[in-house]
Amino acid sequence: MRTPILTLLLSLTLLLASAAPAAAAENQWPQDARDVAFAIASRATGQPGLANIGFAPGAENGIEGVANNFYSAFQAGRIALVTYTNFGTGSVYDAEVAGVINLADPNGRIVALQFGAKYSVNGTRITINQVATATASPPTVFVEVYMVPMDTFMNVPYDVVNDWGALYKVARENAYLPPKEEAPKGAYMVLTFVKNRIAPDSQFEAIVNTRKTARTERDNTAKEKERIMDYQGWRVHMFAARFSPTSIRDHFYINYYYTPGMGVPASERERVQVARWDSKPSGDRQAAAPKPAPMVVEEAPAPTFNAPPPPAPAYAPQPAPKPAPAPAYAPQPAPQPAPQAAPEPHPVYNYAEPTAQPPASPPAPAAAGPGPLERGLAFLNPVFPDDVELIQNRLKELGIYKGTIDKTFGPMTKRSLDHFAVQHGFPKGQWSLGLQKALFQGTGL
């Protein structure tokens, strides 16, 4: 038999396929539903809620990240209600509400939390009895791209590379800006930051090629050199390349594709192009073009809170409410690809392997307790050869990796790591802190 909270969690995957709630006919969501949604958003971000709303013992533990203040740096933006049901009349009754809460932090990272809640109304008092939240797969994603000179990147402290926010700051502060004269050819680390938190089973692809319309994995000339890092749901794509940013000969493009995962019905998980980046920048060191429109979850109608929530982020202005027959995502259309052009005669640029590594703390000797790799206090980066050596040695100890310890994150190492990942419930092709902790469990490292 399913427990009530399990039923609540399972229902989150069906929110956006729901029929229109009865309240939509009145063009207004009930005040209690709006207040409960605001209370959940406030508790998720550690902000003051409403004095007349409380949580039953243990109920708030169903809010993602509340136990460790995971979203304390975020502010609630738009809150979209999707379904509402009540089970009584008058001033004493039980009710249920579900929807999506949009959060953003000072770095522009975005999170969409699906939520479902069961609560009781007693006059002016409301008690939230059960609540469940889960990261929703957005219909599109934002990306920002930076070219950081390799001599700068290789001197970045190890703990900075392991932290999304710190790495993002370094990229912004040290990214190449086009000079007026021809730039000499050099080695760069090209970093792409996905600003949305996406579900573990979502797919994010970066197709690097001299052709503007390249779109398949076979077209990706960086596939043997690229790394995709997963920082608790925020992904960073990186690869090293040697080229001149102002040279037509070295000109290349990155086409970004995204496939939604958890929270979107399988039949609607379409692979869409979300951005294209040009290696010969025009002066804007951040934008990837075409720039995707802000993710907005539409509902019918848009609720207005009596107690105003924190202001919505500047990059996501609220559109005028649009009545609709049924609540649903408003997925942004994929950018139309440019007409197929003949392959350019310019040669493909050459990749530059890193020649040095940021100073890293040496692995702790085996001990009775877990070490920094097992505990997640240090995060290995497959961009660096010494880190790859640790991964290869561990995979060889487990009998999974049969190749030589060559410090190269090549196809054999990737296949071995994917084999381990699948066995332990992790997705293929993604190196994450959770996967590292599982790989080094029990080693004392």
> Tens digits of per-residue pLDDT, 377-415?
566 777 667 778 889 888 988 888 888 888 888 888 888
Q: pTM for the full model?
A: 0.60
Band (pLDDT 50/70/90 cuts) for residue 9 is very low
Same domain, 111 and 165: no
Q: Which residue has the tokens 């440019």?
A: 338
Same domain, 167 and 197: yes
Report the SS3 class of residue 8. Answer: helix
* Least confident span in 46-60, 125-139, 277-291, 366-380: 277-291
Whether 303 is in a domain gets the answer no
Q: Please count the CA atoms within 13 angstroms of the CA of 166 that sit on its side-chain side.
A: 9
How confident is the model over 180-189, as a mean pLDDT? 77
Band (pLDDT 50/70/90 cuts) for residue 253 is very high
Q: What is the CATH number of the domain that holds 45?
A: 3.10.450
As a whole number, the mean pLDDT across the chain is: 74
Contact 391, 412 (CB under 8 A): no
Q: How far apart are CA 104 and CA 250, in angstroms?
A: 36
Output the 3-class SS for 228-271.
EEEECCEEEEEEEEEECCCCCCCCCEEEEEEECCCCCCHHHCCC
The pLDDT value recorded for residue 415 is 85
Return phi, psi of residue 388, to 5°.
-65, -35
How confident is the model over 58-66, as a mean pLDDT? 92
Same domain, 108 and 151: no
Contact 261, 198 (CB under 8 A): yes
Same domain, 162 and 182: yes
Same domain, 77 and 96: yes
Same domain, 263 and 383: no
Same domain, 232 and 166: yes
Q: Which residue has the tokens 């029990």?
A: 442
Domain span including residue 158: 143-278
Among 110, 135, 160, give the residue marking a domain's end: 135
318-344 core/surface letters (b: 16 or more CB in 10 A; e: else): eeeeeeeeebbbeebebbeeeeeeeee
Whether 9 is in a domain gets the answer yes
Report the SS3 class of residue 94. Answer: strand
Whether 39 is in a domain gets the answer yes
Whether 316 is in a domain gets the answer no
Same domain, 225 and 111: no
Same domain, 64 and 123: yes
Band (pLDDT 50/70/90 cuts) for residue 369 is low
Return phi, psi of residue 215, to 5°.
-145, -10
C-beta atoms surrounding 357 within 10 Å: 16
Give the total number of structural domains in the chain: 3
How confident is the model over 75-101, as a mean pLDDT? 91
Whether 293 is in a domain gets the answer no
pLDDT at 27 over 90: no
Q: How far apart are CA 164 and CA 197, in angstroms?
A: 12
Contact 170, 362 (CB under 8 A): no
The pLDDT value recorded for residue 383 is 63
Whether 72 is in a domain gets the answer yes
pLDDT at 34 over 60: yes
Whether 352 is in a domain gets the answer no
Contact 97, 37 (CB under 8 A): yes
Whether 325 is in a domain gets the answer no
Same domain, 72 and 161: no
